[in-house]
Structure 1
Amino acid sequence: MAATRFTRWGLRESTSTSVDPMRIPHSQQPNSAKDQSGIALIMVMVVVLALGIMAAHFSFSMKIETRLAINTTRDPDMEWMGRSGVELAKYVLAEKMTIPIENQFDSLNQMWAGGPFGTNEVLAAISLRDVSLGDGLINVKIEDLERRFNVNVHGPAIIAQALLYMGVESFQSSVIMDSLMDWVDPDLMVRTNGADEEDYLAEPNPPFPPYLVKNGPIDDLSELLFIRGITPEIYYGIPSSDPSMMPMGMGTGTFGLVDLFTTVGGFQVNINTASAAVLQMIPGMDENLAFDIVMTRAGFDGMDGTEDDLPYVRIQDLLSVPSITPDVLQSLRRYVTNRSNTFEVIVEAQIDEYSRIYRALIVRVSAREFAVLNMRWE
């Protein structure tokens, strides 16, 4: 700091003084050191956080890679477990054919369907549930396909009857019938209310992208969703929570095309396994008659698959149903049987927490021989 003072002779004299930095109060000193230490601490925290995130990501990736590696090594085991379940189902169905009387029919109270009957000493020692196999377990379920109509072999009468009982409006029903025939027949002619390739390319059924007409039999029942006029409500059934939208003729409950039809199986339906909804699709059959058939076979408790069931050992046993006369029985013979020859086998295979479901279609070739039509997993 510079200062000016006057001497006794009137001359000005300039003096300067210096400030000792050591004498500056601590509160007035620069904060650069503190700032640098704070920045360093923040940088360390950021680096630690980044390393933590990288470590967590690496750990998660390793878990995924380990799980994928385990699943890959288990795939062959799971497949053989699925195939073993199918072979077990074939053996159970074949062994049932050695049991007197039980080999004359197929019903829901027999062992293959989860019922208490249709067994012998061999089958009594076999279970389809929680079967230990190697390092895992399998659960096997068998369902006959003759409990539904084969959509590929039945004419328009059965399908039209189904749409009628489902409450489908008459014009929409005609659109469905014509479009279904256009879908499966090999020619390129379009029926009055049908649809051809140009229709599906221009306006496909939602939510599907444009597609072509198949002009061949239906391989998977879900193909019906591609056919003009068939909505998810018609295919899956109307939710029963809305009584005003209940299907006609069923009283309570709901059903859709998926409950009535299949793509394989014979022409006739099994009266021992078919539901009342399926039975009332038969020409000449009504709701009350179908209900009587089901309740008569279900026995006193009114439940299928229990000890008091009264399955129809012969077709003429239908005469035990009060509302069936010999004339009615004669008209039903064309559409009904008491045997099933096509089955879907569902195998749930599990090793620790890893599980997979296999589905196979098998057909009876002879009393003790079955052929596998296809097998897939999901």
Structure 2
Amino acid sequence: MTDGRPAMRIRGGARGIALVVVLLVLSVLLAVVGEFAQAMRLEATTTLNFRAALAASHLAEAGYQRAVAEILPEALAQHLDEQGLLVFRRTRLGAAKAPERTEIALGPGRLSYRITDEDARLNLNRVTPDVLHRLLSELSVERETRDVIVDSILDWRDANEEHRLNGAESDYYLGLPVPYRAKNGDVDSGEELLQVRGITPEI
């Protein structure tokens, strides 16, 4: 007569191994599903960002085209004459009222644009000291500060290292906490102008 205990132990051991295998398979499956879900989320985010960037690009192009259409002095007209020939001609547009330029609804987005007259700007590389003084005076800059700014701009632009009465050259700029040299050339941008002695973001 045999005892049934060893057979039960073997069956119980097989069940334990099967449980471990099932848990391992579930763990691997959960890891794969988690990676897949994360990849899909990333793909969806990338697609949404691409779509938003494309829409923004089209809105920017639409704003540009509206501005171009607004400033064109002439429009090209076409029509058929009595013989059925296509005739092109230019028609001069009258001075129309400026259209709305802010928060223009276009599809799902909105656009704003502005038109500025570049001729109304001062070329700091060609402007005279008198014009600079008048400009700074209009901005309510004190006389002493005005003198420093005007002379410093002129020193920044000139090709030498000799500073004017109230100006600054490399000897001044090299003594600053973050030292740099005077450009001794034309100003290329508004950001560069902030490096000139006396110029502040408020001005």
TM-score by length of 2: 0.56
Structure 1 residue 72 displacement after superposition: 3.8
User: 2:196 corresponds to which residue?
Assistant: 227
User: 1:99 corresponds to which residue?
Assistant: 93
User: 1:82 corresponds to which residue?
Assistant: 60
Structure 1 residue 149 displacement after superposition: 3.3
| 1:132 pairs with 2:110 | no
User: 1:155 corresponds to which residue?
Assistant: 128
| 1:143 pairs with 2:101 | no
State the distance in 1 between where 2:123 and 2:159 align: 19
User: 2:14 corresponds to which residue?
Assistant: none
Structure 1 residue 178 displacement after superposition: 1.2
| 1:164 pairs with 2:131 | no
Structure 1 residue 129 displacement after superposition: 5.1
- Give the counterpart of 1:185 among 144, 158, 164: 158
The residue type paired with residue 93 of structure 1 is: I
User: 1:111 corresponds to which residue?
Assistant: 98
State the distance in 1 between where 2:102 and 2:200 align: 37
Bigger Rg, structure 1 or 2: 1
Distance 1:202 1:69, change over 3 A: farther
Q: Percent identity?
A: 29
- Deviation track 1:101-146 (CA, whole Å, cap 9, x = no partner) reads x3xxxxxx8316x5xxxxxxxxxxxx8752425x534333323234
TM-score by length of 1: 0.33
The residue type paired with residue 192 of structure 1 is: L
Distance 1:136 1:129, change over 3 A: closer
**Structure 2: gaps of 5 or more residues:** 1-36, 76-91
- Deviation track 1:228-264 (CA, whole Å, cap 9, x = no partner) reads 122344x1xxxxxxxxxxxxxxxxxxxxxxxxxxxxx
Greater relative contact order (Cα < 8 A, sep 6+): 1
Matches within 5 A, 1:344-363: none
Which consecutive aligned stretches of 4+ in structure 1 deviate over 6 angstroms post-superposition?
A: 62-65
- Deviation track 1:136-166 (CA, whole Å, cap 9, x = no partner) reads 3433332323444333332111111233344
User: 1:366 corresponds to which residue?
Assistant: none
**Structure 1: gaps of 5 or more residues:** 1-57, 103-108, 115-126, 236-378
State the distance in 1 between where 2:52 and 2:166 align: 52
Count of matched residue positions in the alignment of Structure 1 and Structure 2: 152
Larger proportion of helix: 2
State the distance in 1 between where 2:46 and 2:156 align: 42
